[in-house]
Amino acid sequence: MSPSTSPSSTPSRLSFTALSPDILLLVFAHSSPFDLATLEACSKDVRDFVSKHSTVLYANAQRGFAVGKSRPLPLKPVISSKGNFSEAAYATFIFGGGTCDNCSLPTDKLPCQYALRLRSCSKVCTRNLYDASTCHIRCYTNDDYKIEPWSDWLPFWRVFSEEHGREIVGYLSKDVDRAVVERACAMRRDIELLQQHRITPRDEKTLNKEIEIRKQDLPVLVKNAKLLDAWAHNYFKQKKLCEDDNIEFIRLMGRVDNQRSSTLVRCPLVARLLAAFSRDLVKITTPVWALNYHQICQEYRAVKSGTLVPHKLTDDDKIRCQWCPKMFKRIGMPLHVVDAHPDKNPDELIVKPAHMEGKRHCPECPGSYKAYSEIGMRDHYRMHHPAAAPPPDNTEKKRCPLPPTRQTRKYNLNTTTGDACLPFASKRAQTTKSRRLEMAAQRVIGASTCSFKLCSPGVLYTVP
List residues binding Zn ion (CB under 5 A). Answer: 100, 102-103, 121, 125, 321, 323-324, 340, 362, 364-365, 384
Whole-number Cα distances in Å, 153 to 10, 175, 213, 219, 228 = 53, 11, 9, 9, 20
Tell me the closest approach of the beta carbon of residue 110 to Zn ion, in angstroms. Answer: 14
Tell me the closest approach of the beta carbon of residue 338 to Zn ion, in angstroms. Answer: 10
Closer of 67 and 103 to Zn ion (Cβ): 103
Tell me the closest approach of the beta carbon of residue 184 to Zn ion, in angstroms. Answer: 30
CA 153/CA 213 separation, integer angstroms: 9
CA 5/CA 253 separation, integer angstroms: 20
* Nearest CA among 288, 275, 267 for reference residue 6: 288
Closer of 56 and 365 to Zn ion (Cβ): 365
Closer of 103 and 193 to Zn ion (Cβ): 103
* Nearest CA among 39, 37, 42 for reference residue 90: 37
Tell me the closest approach of the beta carbon of residue 379 to Zn ion, in angstroms. Answer: 11
Closer of 112 and 455 to Zn ion (Cβ): 112
* Nearest CA among 437, 392, 433, 394 for reference residue 419: 437
CA atoms within 13 A on the CB side of 461: 26
Tell me the closest approach of the beta carbon of residue 323 to Zn ion, in angstroms. Answer: 5
Tell me the closest approach of the beta carbon of residue 363 to Zn ion, in angstroms. Answer: 8
Closer of 100 and 273 to Zn ion (Cβ): 100
Whole-number Cα distances in Å, 50 to 28, 46, 76, 289, 300 = 8, 6, 16, 28, 37
Contact between 310 and 303 (Cβ < 8 Å)? yes
Burial state string for 394-419 with b = 16 or more CB within 10 A and e = fewer than 16: eeeeeeeeeeeeeeeeebbbbeeebb
Contact between 406 and 394 (Cβ < 8 Å)? no
